[in-house]
Amino acid sequence: MPKSFWLLIVGMTVNVAGASLLWPLNTIYIHGELGKSLALAGVALMFNAGAAIAGNLIGGSLFDRIGGYKAILAGVFLCTIAAGMLIFLHSWWFYIVFLVVLGFGSGMVRPSMFALAGSVWPEGGRKAFNAIYVAQNFGVAVGAAAGGWIASFSFQSVFMVNMVMYAVFFSIAFFGFRRFDDASESALAVGKPQAKAEGIRDRTRFTALIIVSTVFFLCWMAYVQWQSTISAYTQEIGISLNQYSLLWSVNGALIVLGQPLVAFVVKKVRLPKSQMTVGISIFIVAMAVAASAGGFAGFLTAMIILTFGEMLVWPAVPTVAHELAPKGRAGFYQGFVNSMKTAGKMAGPPVGGIIADFYGMSALFSLFIVVFGLAIVAALLYDRPLKRSRAETEAVPPW
């Protein structure tokens, strides 16, 4: 791993640690402190995710046009301002407004960080995206643990520390990321997308991208229940805030410590398609365990299983997007897959909130086991257009 890439790792860790102070507690704050229903909490998170979708697409396109440095600075600046305003204004309507700004700003940052991973360390391949993923989740472990502990004193303190962390990341990006523009400009200089040597058309690549992005959408729609309806449900059955935050700390710690095991599994399955299908199957097992859990030990077991599933699925999708992207379109392709991920996070809370409010948690767990099953089908089909295009190209006579 090149030394310059470590700065990207540090920046991602700080950024996610700051965001993780707040995002696991959003539903708890809206439901418990502001006195709103789970359905309304889901709507608020839906607005946040909708803004992030727009940020993903705009941030990815900006990476291709002006480079990652400026795109990241713009997104982090918005997050810092919104987080600062939450310190003073966090009633129901203000909370929604600033959640939207935070969603848009963080959405702008994410595709540029992943696209930079591919351009700063191009020879790293899957290792580059996995390193960003590990840094992201190390930040989750630190931020979530700190967020639960700080929230046990006051949510006001959570808002203050959140703003400080965004300001620190802005400083890191401002002084350290400028050098990365040279790497991203190599992608900008290529110009219009061109078909690669194996003869796969850009339209076919984009079709495959849509299918693999559907995997991201379905998996995140189910996974986000752990941050929304399941988080509130754990409070109802007597699991404390500190214990709930500990679940995410275990999640982040396992992602860092479990890398040797994941590397072994990846060598065995090799293809990203197999990696995704194995991971999603593990998701199904985790959801089934959570459905039967009655206390902290059960949810801890489910979280451990869930973590091994995400270690296979989450790095695989941006890796596939990077491999599919025509030259000069890396930012847009990363923005697209991240927007579909965010769309899943947007759809998940209101759907989960409505199911939980009207039909109960048993119905919710059953529904999302089915959703994971559909994701497996999409993962098995995403490369069909690529195989068909290769076959058609090879069938054409060279004359």
pLDDT in tens, 54-107: 999 999 999 988 888 999 999 999 999 999 999 888 788 899 999 999 999 999
How do residues 261-280 score in pLDDT, each as one tens digit? 888 887 787 778 888 999 99
Q: Name the DSSP class of 123.
A: G
How far is residue 229's CA from residue 349's CA, in Å, rounded to a whole number? 7
How far is residue 132's CA from residue 12's CA, in Å, rounded to a whole number? 7
Q: Name the DSSP class of 244.
A: H
What's the whole-model pTM score? 0.81
pLDDT of residue 241 exceeding 70, the answer is yes
How far is residue 195's CA from residue 327's CA, in Å, rounded to a whole number? 9
Integer angstrom CA distances of residue 173 from 10, 15, 121, 170: 10, 10, 18, 5
How far is residue 237's CA from residue 365's CA, in Å, rounded to a whole number? 16
Smallest CA-to-CA distance from 252 within 19, 48, 44 is with 19
H/E/C letters for each residue in 68-111? HHHHHHHHHHHHHHHHHHHHHCCCHHHHHHHHHHHHHHHHHHHH
Residue 251: partners with Cβ closer than 8 Å, 6 or more residues away = 137, 140, 141, 144, 303, 306, 307
Average pLDDT over residues 37-47: 81
Average pLDDT over residues 171-192: 67
How do residues 339-352 score in pLDDT, each as one tens digit? 999 888 878 888 99
